[in-house]
């Protein structure tokens, strides 16, 4: 049984903050009905499976494997017209599709499930916020992970550390 909650988003940065708060709650496992966030064993098993061929202590390779999964195996799909929909991580795995916030929510949950500290970065074009990606703390530095840059539709194929140029960015801490 899927729980769907609807609420009117505020305009501008306030609406972006509302969306980021829901994304962070989904990563932490605070969304009904199953509250399956980064501590859920099913997500940890998915993360471990994705990284199963990565040697131990090869953290950058873990990041690359998780990024590749969310970038390549989860197809980019728009939200319904006039709706900002945030899927829980297990829904995104089940549907194998989502938009930038869904892919980033899944990526952040998978990262956290195997011990990496993620955060979200919302980008704006000078007028409005129009994109979100993840960053992860590795060796004391924040590394960009953008799972929507999949090499399709004129987008580059992003690797660990690639970030889309933007007029400005807003960092949102999950934990």
The CATH number given to whatever domain includes residue 162 is 3.10.620.30
In a domain, 39, yes or no: yes
What's residue 48's pLDDT?
98
Residues of the chain predicted below pLDDT 50 = 1
In a domain, 130, yes or no: yes
In a domain, 18, yes or no: yes
What's residue 10's pLDDT?
77
Instruction: State whether residue 75 is helix, strand or coil.
Output: strand
What's residue 18's pLDDT?
93
Model confidence pLDDT, tens digit, residues 52-78: 999 999 999 999 999 999 999 999 999
Q: Are 132 and 144 in contact (CB under 8 A)?
A: no
Burial 27-63 (b: 16+ CB within 10 A, else e): bbbebeeeebbbebeebbebbeebbeebeeeebeebb
What's residue 6's pLDDT?
60
Domain ranges, residue 23: 12-173
Rounded mean pLDDT of the chain? 93
Phi-psi region of 29 (alpha: psi -120 to 50; beta: other; left: phi over 0): left
The tally of domains found in the chain comes to 1
Neighbours of 153 (CB within 10 A): 7
What's residue 1's pLDDT?
44
In a domain, 3, yes or no: no
Whether the upstream peptide bond of residue 33 has omega within 30° of 0, thus cis, is yes
In a domain, 7, yes or no: no
In a domain, 104, yes or no: yes
In a domain, 4, yes or no: no
What's residue 2's pLDDT?
52
User: Hunting for tokens 């390779």 — which residue is that?
Assistant: 61
In the chain, alpha helices (H): 12-28, 41-50, 59-68, 89-95, 100-113
In a domain, 1, yes or no: no
Cα–Cα distance measured from residue 1 to residue 9, given in angstroms and rounded to the nearest whole number = 25
What's residue 4's pLDDT?
53
What does the angle CA 95 – CA 33 – CA 31 come to, to the nearest 5 degrees? 85
């Amino acid at each position: 049984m899927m729980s769907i909650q609807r609420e009117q988003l505020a305009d501008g940065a306030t609406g972006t903050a509302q969306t980021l708060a829901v994304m962070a709650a989904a990563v932490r496992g605070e969304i009904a009905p199953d509250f399956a966030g980064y501590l859920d064993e099913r997500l940890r098993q998915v993360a471990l499976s994705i990284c199963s061929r990565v040697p131990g202590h090869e953290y950058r390779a873990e990041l690359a494997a998780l990024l590749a999964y969310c970038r390549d195996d989860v197809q980019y799909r728009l939200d319904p017209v006039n709706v900002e929909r945030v899927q829980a991580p297990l829904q995104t795995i089940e549907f194998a599709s989502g938009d930038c916030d869904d892919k980033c929510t899944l990526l952040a949950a998978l990262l956290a499930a195997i011990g990496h500290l993620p955060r979200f970065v919302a980008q704006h074009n000078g007028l409005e916020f129009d994109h979100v990606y993840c960053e992860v703390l590795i060796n004391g530095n924040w590394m960009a992970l953008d799972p929507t840059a999949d090499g399709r539709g004129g987008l580059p194929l992003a690797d660990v550390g690639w970030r889309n140029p933007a007029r400005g960015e807003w960092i949102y801490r999950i934990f």
